[in-house]
């Protein structure tokens, strides 16, 4: 029994490593992203030949970023755009495409556009800092920035929610408690 289980495991392992395009990586999310990249790359950059997955160029799963490489194959471009095991990758053919998936947004660029690819990956890995002031705090912060007493009185209705939540009082004189 153990021998047949071992043989079955070995056969499954051998089957899963057959061909460099097999991308069933064990993570369904990764496979979904690769399928999305194949579809978008073929729609935007595919010429006469089908573009298919070659490898993962970089990834950061904590920041939800995956960068994959797609290259033309020996197969003609057909719809639907899906992974096609029967197609052989043409390593020297163009276009070669890098697709970067960042938090649900896909960007596919020609591989020769290295600077744009680096910027896309960098922007994903290092998003701009958000202001720590949000919601009610932003509302109250804006109150403090107002210098004109009349402007403050005219905008009083905007601050009603802020007054209620922060228990601030804005008097017609322009002072805050």
Mean pLDDT of 87-111: 95
Mean pLDDT of 64-93: 92
- Split at pLDDT 50, 70, 90, the class of 132 is low
- Split at pLDDT 50, 70, 90, the class of 28 is confident
Q: In this predicted structure, which of 10-14, 30-34, 168-172 has the lowest mean pLDDT?
A: 10-14
In this model, does residue 89 exceed pLDDT 60?
A: yes
Percent of the chain having pLDDT more than 90? 45
Cα separation, 52 vs 79, in Å, equals: 13
Q: Which of 79, 39, 62 is nearest to 53 (CA)?
A: 39
- Split at pLDDT 50, 70, 90, the class of 129 is confident
Cα separation, 71 vs 51, in Å, equals: 5
In this model, does residue 44 exceed pLDDT 60?
A: yes
CA-CA distances (angstroms) from residue 53 to 42, 58, 80? 11, 14, 15
How many Cβ atoms are within 10 Å of 98's Cβ, its own excluded?
25
Quick check: 91 and 122 in contact, CB under 8 A? no
Q: Which of 43, 29, 37, 82 is nearest to 55 (CA)?
A: 37
Mean pLDDT of 157-165: 48
Q: How far apart are the first and last CA of the chain?
A: 80
In this model, does residue 68 exceed pLDDT 60?
A: yes
Q: Of the spans 27-31, 147-151, 169-173, which averages the highest pLDDT?
A: 27-31
Q: In the predicted model, what is the mean pLDDT of the chain?
A: 74
Q: In this predicted structure, which of 34-48, 86-100, 123-137 has the lowest mean pLDDT?
A: 123-137
Mean pLDDT of 101-117: 96
């Amino acid at each position: 029994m153990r021998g047949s289980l071992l043989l079955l495991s070995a056969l499954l392992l051998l089957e899963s490593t057959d061909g460099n395009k097999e991308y069933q990586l064990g993570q369904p999310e990764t496979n979904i992203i690769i399928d999305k990249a194949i579809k978008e790359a073929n729609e935007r950059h595919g010429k006469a030949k089908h573009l298919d997955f070659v490898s993962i160029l970089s990834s950061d799963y904590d920041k939800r970023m995956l960068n994959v490489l797609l290259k033309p194959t020996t197969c003609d471009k057909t719809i639907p755009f899906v992974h096609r095991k029967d197609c052989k990758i043409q390593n020297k053919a163009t276009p070669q495409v890098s697709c970067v998936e960042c938090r649900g947004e896909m960007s596919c660029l020609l591989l020769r556009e290295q600077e744009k690819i680096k910027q896309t990956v960098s922007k994903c890995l290092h998003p701009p800092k958000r202001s720590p002031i949000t919601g009610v705090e932003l509302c109250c912060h804006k109150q403090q920035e107002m210098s004109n007493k009349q402007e403050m009185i005219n905008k009083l209705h905007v601050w009603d929610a802020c007054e209620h939540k922060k228990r601030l009082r804005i008097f017609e004189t322009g002072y805050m408690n």
